[in-house]
Amino acid sequence: MEAPGDDRKRKPFGNRFLTDPTRLFQHNAWDNVEWSEEQEAAARAKVQENSIQFVPQDQQDAYEVNANKHWNDFYKTHENGFFKDRHWLFTEFPELLPNLCDNEDGACVTKDAVRNVRISDLGSSSVHGLDSVTNDTLKRLTSEPDSSDMIHAEVVPGSKTLEEQKLREGDFPGSSATYRILEVGCGAGNTVFPILQTNNDPGLFVYCCDFSTTAVDLVKAHPEYDTSRCFAFVHDLCKSEMSFPMPEESLDVVVLIFVLSSILPKKMQCIINRLSQLLKPGGMILLRDYGRYDLAQLRFKKGQCLADNFYVRGDGTRVYFFTQDELELLFSTAGLEKVQNMVDRRLQVNRGKQVTMYRVWIQCKYRKLPRQRKDGELVEERTPFQHCS
């Protein structure tokens, strides 16, 4: 809640800057806070201190084997009360709103309405704020392939499984949708349901998965879970033999919100590779995750470090803290093109206790390039498949 006397209309995310230190405790958070050399050096020293002692390898192996159990226990304990619904998503990721509507008069910016708009006419845009939402969305709408251009796999006699045959025939959940979103690591639905509530595109279909059965059950039990618009399923990304309920090159957007950091680092590359294969040409992966020297990393004690910048929490769940370069390497290796890779340094304030908390997050958008033509023929450019185990 805003303090009495504050403007009734909130500023958009990314547009509240601390220019006067005397106003530090006037708001709950400040955006894009620059760190001093001393502050960064202190953070680096703290990480070196809590990384001196690694967890024994046999215990690390046990955390990997029991990862599913630890996350099931987490959701059994917290259910849907741990995370808040992420309504900030649509400011940070306007790609989740393919039809951008004006709430005052009900008018929408649709794909058909802007199909002939030249990108050069749209002007520059910042990362945050309403102007960037409009411009970024228009740029995507004018450049993405039309849904009718989606490549469907042909029916191949002798498919290995009935599921594969159904996928090839276009018989899968959301097969009639014109805009498809997959959220990986959906938890209790704190991203899925804001999308369904906010995005009024009748052609929208949202897939959501988690490898915690308890989490998926919570999503399905939600009063707004609608199988005509959404499909929740259990999936372990680290198991390459597990198939997805949708075919390759069928998704417009894949969302990874504080999910990749929970996975064993050596398995991250093949997971990004697998997800990139689900994207249509022009489709995007949207990621927001923990950055190096985030407050959460600095709070770990000795004996909780699994590897460099990788830790285990008290409940057995794990977390990694990224740099921009590490994420760039993961996505570029998967053949994806950078649209955005930025550090979000935010200063959160507890005004009651007069405490400051420095958060560091990384936000990325990476696009799958359209397939190239050579001598009139499509050139197949695929990332070599690899197993995660």
Q: What is the CATH number of the domain that holds 324?
A: 3.40.50.150
In this prediction the pTM is 0.74
CB atoms within 10 A of CB 125: 16
Domain membership flag for residue 164: no
Number of folded domains in the chain? Answer: 1
Q: Within 169-235, where are the H helices?
A: 192-198, 213-221
Kindly write down the DSSP assignment for every residue of 283-335, as one continuous string. Answer: EEEEEEEEBTT-HHHHTPPTT-EEETTEEE-TTS-EEE-B-HHHHHHHHHHTT
The CA distance from 322 to 45, in Å, is 17
Is the pLDDT assigned to residue 148 strictly greater than 90?
A: no
pLDDT tens per residue, range 10-32: 444 456 654 545 554 454 554 66
Q: Tell me what the pLDDT averaged over the chain comes to.
A: 75
Backbone φ and ψ of 42, nearest 5°? -65, -40
What is the pLDDT, as a whole number, of residue 152?
33
DSSP 171: -
* 290, HSE (Cβ side, Cα atoms, 13 Å): 20
Average pLDDT over residues 165-189: 85
Residue 154 in domain = no
Dump pLDDT digits (tens) for 76-123.
Answer: 776 655 455 566 788 889 999 866 544 444 344 443 333 333 222 323
Q: What range defines the domain where residue 270 resides?
A: 37-91+170-371
29-66 pLDDT, tens digit each: 546 667 678 888 988 999 999 999 999 999 999 988 88
The more confidently predicted of residues 77 and 148 is 77
Residue 180 lies in a domain: yes
255-to-16, 208, 364, 366 alpha-carbon distances in Å: 26, 9, 10, 11
What pLDDT is attached to residue 371?
73
Measured CA to CA, the distance from residue 349 to residue 121 in angstroms comes to 40
Radius of gyration of the chain from its Cα atoms, rounded to whole angstroms = 22
Residue 147 lies in a domain: no
What is the model's pLDDT at position 153? 33
Report yes or no on 200 lying in a domain.
yes
In a domain, residue 326? The reply is yes
276 falls within a domain: yes
Q: Is 98 exposed, middle or buried (0-12, 13-18, 19+ CB in 10 A)?
A: buried
- Residue type (1 letter), 336: L
Residue 245 makes CB contacts below 8 A (sequence gap 6+) with 172, 173, 207, 231, 233
Angle CA(131)–CA(289)–CA(52) in degrees, nearest 5? 145
pLDDT recorded at residue 26: 52
Whether residue 105 lies inside any domain: the answer is no
pLDDT band at 225 (very low <50, low <70, confident <90, very high): very high
Whether the CB-CB separation of 266 and 297 falls below 8 Å is answered with no
Q: What is the pLDDT of residues 305-347, one digit of tens each?
A: 999 999 999 888 899 999 999 999 999 999 999 999 999 888 7
Instruction: With H, G, I as helix, E, B as strand and everything else as coil, classify residue 183.
Output: strand
Can you give the pLDDT at residue 358? 78
